[in-house]
C-alpha cells in the first residue's frame, strides 16, 4: 500500500504537452486510489479538455504544501524551482516529470511516466535532500527585501551593461573587493545551472558546500571559490556603482538594490526532499544532460 495518499500536481503553464502529461498522470493516480489535488494556476487549462473521467480537486500551492504527502511537478527545472520555494517550507517531498529542456531536477521522462510513478507509489525510490539559500538585503540597517533559492542567489547589473563593484566577506572576514558583471552564489543543486555556464565547478548534490562564481571579473585572479554550506556571506555593494544592481533568487524573485546596500546570504532553515526513480544516479544525469561519454567499450583498450 502506498505511503502517498494525497498527491499534489503542479505544471508549467501554456504547454499542451504538459496538459497531456497531467491527464495521464491523474489517470494513473486515480487507478491507485490516491486523492489528487491540482494547482489552481493550471486548473483552467486542464478543465478545458473534453476528458471528464478524471477525479481531482483544485487548490493553491500552500494548500498542497499543508495537505499533500507528495507533490509531482510536470515541466522543466524552472517549474521545480518555483514550486520548491513553497514546498520546502512544508517539508513535502517532490518529484519531477521532465517536459522542459535540460531537466536535472525533473528526471522522469514522459515515456516512462506510468511505470515510474507506480514504482514510487510502491515505495521504490531514492531520496536526496537539497539545501537552499536565503538572501536578505539591508539598507541603512533596515531590511528592504528577502528571497530564497534552491539553485542560486545572483548579484547582477540588471539591464545595464556596466560592471559592478562589491566587497565580499565570509563569516565576518573580508575576502576580496572585485569589479565584475556579477557574482553567483550557488548550491550543489545549482552548480549545474547558471554557475556552470559561468565556469563554476560541478558539485555532487550530496555535498554541504556553496560555490561563489564571479562573472567576468576585472581582476583575473578572482576565481570560483567553494566554502562550507554553513558559511555566512555578506556582499557590500560599492558606493561607486552608477546603476541599481539586482539580487535574483533562482532567476525568479528579484530585489532591486542601491549602492551601499548589504546583502546577507546563508543556508536557509528549510531543505527540499526530492524523490528519484531507483538507479537514477547523478553521474548518469551528468553524462546524459551534459553530453559526457563513457568509453566505447569496457575491454580496457
Q: Is 77 a residue of the active site?
A: yes
3-class SS at 193? coil
Lowest mean pLDDT across 41-50, 164-173, 214-223: 41-50
Angle, in degrees to the nearest 10, between helices 16-31 and 40-47: 90
- pLDDT of 279 > 70? The answer is yes
Given the C-alpha cell 576580496, which residue does it identify? 176
The mean pLDDT of 132-151, rounded to a whole number, is: 97
pLDDT score recorded for residue 286: 87
- Residues with Cβ < 8 Å from 96, sequence gap 6 or more? 72, 73, 74, 75, 77, 79, 80, 103, 105, 106, 107, 108, 274
Per-residue confidence at 299, pLDDT binned at 50, 70, 90?
A: low
Quick one: pLDDT band at residue 45, thresholds 50, 70, 90? confident
List 39, 53, 77, 171, catalytic entry:
77
Q: Domains in the chain and their CATH numbers?
A: 6-123 (3.40.50.10330), 133-269 (2.60.200.30)
Task: Determine which of 60-64, 108-112, 122-126, 288-292 has the lowest per-residue pLDDT on average.
Answer: 288-292
pLDDT in the model for residue 141: 95
Percentage of the residues of the chain whose pLDDT score is greater than 90? 78
**Whether pTM exceeds 0.95:** no
Average pLDDT of the chain to the nearest whole number: 92
How many residues make up the chain in this entry? 301
How many Å apart are CA 45 and CA 14, to the nearest integer? Answer: 8
User: With left for phi above 0 and alpha for psi between -120 and 50, is residue 152 left, alpha or beta?
Assistant: beta
Q: What is the pLDDT of residue 297?
A: 56
| % of the chain residues with pLDDT over 70 | 95
User: 124-133, 194-203, 260-269, 292-301: which has the minimum mean pLDDT?
Assistant: 292-301
Contact 113, 143 (CB under 8 A): no
C-alpha cell at 163: 560592471
pLDDT-derived band at 221 (thresholds 50, 70, 90) equals confident
- Per residue in 46-86, pLDDT tens? 875 555 588 999 999 999 999 999 999 999 999 999 999 99
Q: Helices 16-31 and 113-121 meet at what angle, rounded to 10?
A: 40
The pLDDT value given to residue 295: 65
The C-alpha cell that represents 228 in the structure block: 562550507
Amino acid at each position: 500500500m502506498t505511503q502517498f495518499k494525497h498527491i499534489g500536481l503542479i505544471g508549467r503553464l501554456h504547454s499542451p504537452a504538459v496538459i497531456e502529461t497531467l491527464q495521464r498522470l491523474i489517470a494513473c493516480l486515480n487507478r491507485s486510489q490516491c486523492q489528487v489535488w491540482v494547482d489552481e494556476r493550471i486548473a483552467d487549462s486542464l478543465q478545458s479538455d473534453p476528458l471528464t473521467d478524471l477525479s481531482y480537486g483544485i487548490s493553491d500551492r500552500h494548500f498542497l504544501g499543508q495537505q499533500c504527502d507528495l507533490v509531482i511537478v510536470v515541466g522543466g527545472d524552472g517549474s521545480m524551482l518555483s514550486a520548491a520555494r513553497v514546498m520546502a517550507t512544508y517539508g513535502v517531498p517532490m518529484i519531477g516529470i521532465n517536459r522542459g529542456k535540460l531537466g536535472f531536477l525533473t528526471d522522469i521522462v514522459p515515456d516512462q511516466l506510468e511505470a515510474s510513478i507506480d514504482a514510487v507509489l510502491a515505495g521504490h525510490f531514492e531520496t536526496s535532500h537539497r539545501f537552499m539559500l536565503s538572501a536578505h538585503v539591508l539598507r541603512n540597517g533596515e531590511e528592504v527585501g528577502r528571497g530564497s533559492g534552491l539553485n542560486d542567489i545572483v548579484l547582477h547589473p540588471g539591464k545595464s551593461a556596466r560592471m559592478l563593484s562589491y566587497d565580499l566577506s565570509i563569516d565576518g572576514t573580508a575576502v576580496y573587493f572585485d569589479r565584475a558583471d556579477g557574482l553567483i552564489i550557488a548550491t550543489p543543486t545549482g552548480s549545474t545551472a547558471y554557475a556552470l555556464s559561468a565556469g563554476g565547478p560541478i558539485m555532487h548534490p550530496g555535498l554541504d558546500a556553496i560555490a561563489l562564481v564571479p562573472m567576468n571579473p576585472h581582476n583575473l585572479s578572482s576565481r570560483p571559490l567553494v566554502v562550507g554550506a554553513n558559511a555566512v556571506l555578506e556582499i557590500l555593494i560599492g558606493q561607486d556603482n552608477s546603476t541599481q544592481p539586482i539580487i535574483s533568487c533562482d532567476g525568479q524573485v528579484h530585489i532591486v538594490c542601491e549602492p551601499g546596500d548589504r546583502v546577507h546570504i546563508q543556508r536557509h532553515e528549510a531543505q527540499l526532499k526530492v524523490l528519484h526513480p531507483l538507479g537514477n544516479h547523478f553521474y548518469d544525469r551528468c553524462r546524459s544532460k551534459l553530453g559526457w561519454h563513457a568509453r566505447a567499450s569496457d575491454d580496457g583498450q
